[in-house]
Structure 1
Amino acid sequence: MAMWLNRFREYSLPLILGVVTALIWANLSPETYEGAVHGTIAGPVNVHFLVNDVFMVFFFAVAGIEIVNSLSPGGDLNPIKKAITPLLATAGGIIGPIVVFFSLNELMGDPTFLNGWGICTATDIALAWLLARMVFGKDHPAVSFLLLLAVADDAIGLIIIAVFYPDPNAPVEPLWLLLIVLGMLVAAHLNKRQVQSYIPYIFGAGTICWIGMLNAHLHPALSLVFIIPFLPRQGQSLEGVDMHGVNDAPEYSTLSCFEHHISPIVDYGLFFFGIANAGVEFSSVSNLTWIIFASLVVGKTLGISLFTWLATLWKFNLPEGMSGRDVFLAGVVGGMGLTVALFVVTPAYTDPALQGAAKMGALFTVFVFILATVLARILNIKKIG
């Protein structure tokens, strides 16, 4: 049973199942779907708020852990010279979609679409990693290349969300940001006192940051990103360790314990993220849908391929065993923008019609699974592992 549950998580099936359920529900009974997701539970609290502003705190915390681990000694981005090529590819994966978005909007769009450029910049780490393993094989260097790219991509995505997409219904109140500073000071004090349990960091300092961001009218989903760097990293990694009976034991690092305790909750909880965000009526398809879709798939492919080529011209090496064809296919896989793209849609557009059309564009990127599989055969990509 445990093996099947792990496979269920590994292949991102909770998220996929949530997306499919939401699409079916929203198209068969839009009234009951809208009532379930946006109907009031208590005061201003509804399912959409609980998912996007509470649950997603832990989703972005996991992304923050990946970034911290990558930047730490021994990580994939440390020393920084080791990751110049994938970081340049990341820049292409950000710039390419933005250029395609504004170009297509000029040709077939509308001024009301302009604020959606940030939707096209992020790569879905979980689904891209899954697809990369399917088309390249688990031991192919392109998988690590794409994972580095996706982690760095999402780091930039966090900044884009925080800076360019504050709450559209309320102006930013900067004074509340002092609570973020206070939360970080509390976390730094806990670290200095060598507190090993992650609970006071996450639910103490993290809650202070969450309150500060909520009242500052910034996305509270990013609140734990400020706290994750302070969690102690001294101790053994829990990679491959049976978690039964492990409860912040001192021989394991605090960061590792938190990651392994929260990751299953996040993986399964993405079912509810899919339910809360992917319920779009198919009538919502418009030119914006195709602009978002093309910006993600075409923009990522061209941007990643071009900037990686420039990196090789500047004498930075590709990972050993990786070819130009692999880079091109990795760019296609990088066009998978589901989770973060759906998250950005709500702050990007206040008009429900624009939200629906943009979400359809993000959802259509699941066709990258078919496209990448076909291209792998055409390009004669050799699977490794």
Structure 2
Amino acid sequence: AAGLIILAIFYPSGDLAPEWLLLSFGAALAVFVLFNWLPRRMDRGRPERPHSTRVRKALGGLPYVIAGCISWYGFMQSGLHPALGLLPVVPAIPHADRAFGIFAEAEEHLHDLLNVLEHALKHPVEIVLFFFGLLNAGVEFSSMGDATWLVLAGLIIGKPVGILFFGWLAAKPLKLGIPEGMRIIDLVVIGFVAAIGFTVSLFVASVAFDAGPVQDAAKMGALFSFAAAILSIVAGKVLRVQKMDG
């Protein structure tokens, strides 16, 4: 998300017209008030939540899909990259009081709308991202240069170091803790897994650089980051990372 925000700020898709963002945030606010806050307000003191249930059964995620389309259009017209178009809408979607993480088994027992949409879109998004990477990675192996090694170093070195440092910062000085059974050093493995830059890195490279040798070299760096998969396995073995049951 941070990368997309940087992309939107420093690499706008056109002339900036920030007044169009009012449309995006207005759509998000409207869908939140009408289909999230208002039904819950009407259900105050009623554990069965009849109004919220009726809205959920009758409309499902349709209001949020429509709001997302409106928000996307607003971002596109504003000159900011429309990849950010859904950001104002996501917080407006009804969600459970607690989230366990998309890969946690406990998530299967949560049926809030945000959780349902998240799991319903998980596999389609993975397929779309795969083909996006496949189509945008069309460069020759000879297209290497300084940008290749800079992008590769940013992913292979920057991701593990950054995730380890900020994970430690959150867990220790800020006392936010980490998941039970996990060690701080395990963040190194997570960092290597996150270093695989097959999608966002290719996307940023295609937008940040004009078509030509520099863009091709940057894309090669993103493709070479697949080596992080091997590094993550090696790091997991060396650091003795084990899968926790339950």
Give me the TM-score of the superposition, normalised by structure 2.
0.74
Distance across 2 between alignment mates of 1:193 and 1:322: 40
Give 2:43's aligned residue.
Answer: none
**Pairwise CA distance, 1:320:** 5.0
Q: How does 1:24-63 map to 2 (within 5 A)?
A: none
1:193 Cα deviation (Å)? 4.7
Q: For residues 367 and 231 of structure 1, do their structure 2 counterparts lie closer, same or farther at Cα, with a shift above 3 Å needed?
A: same
Q: Residues 206, 309 of structure 1: CA spacing in aligned structure 2 closer, same or farther, 3 A cutoff?
A: closer
* Alpha-carbon distance between aligned partners in 2 of 1:307 and 1:380, rounded to the nearest angstrom: 19
Give the deviation of 1:224 after TM superposition: 1.5
The yes-or-no answer on 1:201 pairing with 2:64 is yes
Q: How many residues align?
A: 218
CA contact (8 A) 1:182 1:208 kept: no
1:304 aligns with 2:167: no
Contact 2:137 2:219 in 1 (8 A): yes
Which residue among 202, 205, 224 is the counterpart of 1:364? Answer: 224
3-state DSSP class of the match of 2:199?
Answer: helix
**Residue number in structure 2 paired with 1:217:** 79
Letter in 1 for 2:25: V
Query: Amino acid of the residue matched to residue 6 of structure 2?
Result: I
For 1:238-317, what aligned pairs fall within 5 Å after superposition?
239-240=107-108, 252-308=111-167, 314=173, 316=175
Cα pair 2:192 2:229 within 8 Å, conserved:
no
Residue aligned with 2:87, SS? helix
SS at match of 2:225: helix
Aligned partners of 2:213 and 2:8: how far apart in 1? 24
* 2:2 maps to which of 156, 161, 184: 156
User: Deviation per CA, 1:270-317, whole angstroms, max 9, x where unpaired?
Assistant: 232123222222222111101100111112233334455566773745
Counterpart CA distance in 1 for 2:178 and 2:117 is 33
Structure 2 contact 159–194 (Cα < 8 Å) conserved? yes
> In the TM superposition, what is the alpha-carbon distance from 1:337 to its structure 2 partner?
2.9
Deviation beyond 6 Å, 4+ runs, structure 1: none
User: Is the Cα–Cα contact under 8 Å of residues 186 and 241 in structure 2 kept in the other structure?
Assistant: no
Which SS does the other structure have where 2:85 is aligned? helix
Question: Taking structure 1 as reference, are residues 334 and 256 closer, same or farther at Cα in structure 2, changes over 3 Å only?
Answer: closer
Aligned to 2:102: none
Cα 1:365–1:207 change in 2 (3 A) is same
The alpha carbon displacement at 1:361 in A equals 0.7
Q: Cα–Cα, structure 1 residues 311 and 177, in superposed 2: closer, same or farther, change >3 Å? A: closer
Structure 2 unmatched runs, 5+: 40-54, 100-105
1:338 & 1:159 partners in 2: Cα distance?
19
Aligned partners of 2:188 and 2:235 also within 8 Å: no
Range 296-305 or range 327-336, more displaced: 327-336
Partner residue, 1:185: 29
Q: How does 1:232-243 map to 2 (within 5 A)?
A: 232-233=94-95, 239-240=107-108
User: Going by fraction, where is helix more abundant, 1 or 2?
Assistant: 1
Tell me what 2:197 maps to. Answer: 337
For residues 5-20 of structure 1, what are the structure 2 equivalents within 5 Å?
A: none
Deviations 1:66-98 (A, max 9, x none): xxxxxxxxxxxxxxxxxxxxxxxxxxxxxxxxx
Match of 1:174 among 18, 38, 44: 18
Question: Tell me, what secondary structure is at the counterpart of 1:351?
Answer: coil
The question of whether the paired residues in 2 share the 8 Å contact of 1:346 and 1:355 is answered with yes
Give the SS at the match of 1:284: coil
CA offset digits 1:320-378 (Å, max 9, x no partner): 5444543433333332233221221122112332221111111111111112222333x
Alpha-carbon distance in structure 2 between the residues aligned to 1:181 and 1:364: 38
Distance 2:20 2:26 in 1: 10
Higher relative CO (Cα under 8 Å, sequence separation at least 6) belongs to: 1
The separation in 2 between residues aligned to 1:259 and 1:292, in whole angstroms, is 30
Opposite residue 69 of structure 2, the aligned amino acid is T
SS in 1 for 2:240: coil
After superposition, residues 25-174 of structure 1 pair within 5 angstroms as: 155-167=1-13, 170-174=14-18
CA RMSD of aligned residues (A): 3.1
